[in-house]
Amino acid sequence: MSAHALQRTNVVTAPPPMRLVPGKRPSVDDLYPRLFDAILEQRIVPTSRFTEEGLAEQFGVSRSVLRRVLARLAEQQVIILRPNLRAQVAAPDAQQVQHILEARRLMEVTVVQLACAQASPGQVRRLRELVARQRACVEQGQQGPAIRLCGEFHLLLASIAGNRPLAQFLNSLVPLTSLVIAQQGAFAGTWREQSAMIEALERRDGGTAVSLMTQHLDHLQAQLS
- Averages of pLDDT over each 10 residues, the chain, 225 residues: 33 45 72 95 76 87 93 94 86 92 95 96 97 96 94 97 95 94 85 96 96 94 85
Q: Could you state, in order of their start, the residue ranges of all structural domains in the chain?
A: 3-89, 94-224
Residue 189: predicted pLDDT: 84
| Topology given in CATH for the domain delimited by 94-224 | Four Helix Bundle (Hemerythrin (Met), subunit A) (1.20.120)
Strand partners, 123: none
Count other Cβ atoms within 10 Å, centred on residue 213: 25
Strand order in the sheet with 87-89: 49-50, 87-89, 79-80
Taking phi over 0 as left and psi of -120 to 50 as alpha, with beta for the rest, 91 belongs to beta
The answer to whether 10 and 51 have CB atoms below 8 angstroms apart is: no
The answer to whether 130 and 149 have CB atoms below 8 angstroms apart is: yes
- DSSP result, the chain: --HHHHHHHTBSSPPPPP---TTPPP-HHHHHHHHHHHHHTTSB-TT-EE-HHHHHHHHT--HHHHHHHHHHHHHTTSEE--TTS-EEE----HHHHHHHHHHHHHHHHHHHHHHHHH--HHHHHHHHHHHHHHHHHHHTT-HHHHHHHHHHHHHHHHHHHT-HHHHHHHHTTHHHHHHHHHHH------HHHHHHHHHHHHTT-HHHHHHHHHHHHHHHHHHH-
Residue 23: predicted pLDDT: 52
The answer to whether 183 and 46 have CB atoms below 8 angstroms apart is: yes
Residue 4: predicted pLDDT: 30
- Distance (Å, rounded) from C-alpha 69 to C-alpha 118? 31
CATH 3.40.50.11820 for domain 3-89, yes or no, is no
The answer to whether 178 and 40 have CB atoms below 8 angstroms apart is: yes
Tell me the whole-structure pTM to 2 decimals. 0.85
